Amino acid sequence: MTLVTTTNINMSTRCSSSPADDEKPLSRAVSKEYLLSPNFTPKYMTLILQESILLLAGAAAILLQLAEPDIAAGVSKHSNFVYRVLDRLRTTMTFMYGMVYGTPEERKMIMDMITKIHSRVSGTLKEGQNRGKPYSALDPELQMWVAATLYATGIDLYQRVWGKIKDEQVQDNIYFEYSIFACSLQVPEEMWPASRKDFWKYWDHKIATVEVTQQAKKVCNEIMYLRHIPVYLRILLPIIRVCTSAFLPGRIRKEYGLDSHYWTYKIVEWLIKALYRPLPLRIRSFLVRFYLRDMRMRLASRKKIFEKA
């Protein structure tokens, strides 16, 4: 197994120029076949994924996912990740970094492992407007929503820290490359919205119609306070709560009963820009190397990467 080096990471600190003239721009979602081919190398979404600060949007992405009652029910019944936060973080980052930076063989192994785990997650909704409806983690609609939250929170946080990406083609390429988080599983490529405009229509509809159930609110309270993580990590929780509240759409924030901390968030954002942005990329991208190394060591030793949902 090859350990990741700086050459595995897009080392350009910003991607403000247009794609090279001889480079074909993306115009559709990435198919599973192309994802697993040796020709697929993401060049644009790495602009976002290489930044360790992306973790700051993690709680917001989870709460958005849980606002889909089927996902909240699955997490409530089949997952105990609140008691194994660091392990759940590892598996999530392994999936994301593995899909982006992994070899075709590594991607295939990860995809098969996740599908196997998801096949065990099913049941019937116990609350909400669709009470009694069966759910399954293999449902493409649910996987589409999860991938959508990863894209929306990722691009939002990146542009909060670095400013708006002005090149429309770069924006499109990032968007279409992000489809790998959906199409690598059970989502057919045609389900990924055909354009960013179509995506935000889909997004606005979901934000207006998802339902924050009591199961989701219970998990939200656990995530916001994480009483089972090491004490030395708890000092970060107030910052995470402030940022999570700021990153969530207003309706979702209110449904969860979270307070808005506008000015506190603005101070945090200013500090991030002042302290994080000047760091060398090698430091900012530390988590990519860390989790890829862990993934490859586990694969080499045949140790399980994913054990629970």
Region for residue 188 given its phi and psi (left: phi exceeds 0; alpha: psi -120 to 50; beta: otherwise): beta
pLDDT at 3 over 50: no
Give percent above pLDDT 90 in the chain.
77
Helix axes 58-66, 140-162, angle to 10 degrees: 150
> Do residues 69 and 209 make contact, with C-beta atoms less than 8 angstroms apart?
no
Share of the chain above pLDDT 70, in %: 90
Residue 221's CB is within 10 A of a number of other CB atoms, namely 14
**pLDDT one-digit tens code per residue, 279-294:** 999 999 999 999 999 9
Q: d(Cα 197, Cα 45) in Å, to the nearest integer?
A: 18
Q: Which residue has the higher pLDDT, 308 or 61?
A: 61
Q: Which residue type sits at 210? A: V
The residues, ordered by sequence, that sit 6+ positions from 159 with a Cβ below 8 Å of its Cβ are 165
More confident site: 87 or 308: 87
Lowest mean pLDDT, pick from 13-17, 162-166, 261-265, 292-296: 13-17
pLDDT for the residue numbered 54: 96
E strand segments, 122-244: 122-124, 134-136
Mean pLDDT to the nearest integer, 201-219: 96
Q: DSSP state, 128?
A: S
- Residue 309: its pLDDT value, please? 62
Q: Which residue has the higher pLDDT, 7 or 55?
A: 55
pLDDT of residue 264: 97
Q: Are 202 and 226 in contact (CB under 8 A)?
A: no
* Whether pLDDT at 306 is above 80: no
Q: Is residue 99 a contact partner of residue 84, using CB atoms and an 8 Å limit?
A: no
pLDDT band at 208 (very low <50, low <70, confident <90, very high): very high
Whether 110 has a pLDDT exceeding 50, the answer reads yes
**pLDDT at residue 22 greater than cutoff 60:** no
147 vs 50: CA distance, rounded Å: 17
As a whole number, the mean pLDDT across the chain is 89
Whole-number pLDDT of residue 232: 80
The residue with greater pLDDT, 285 or 306, is 285
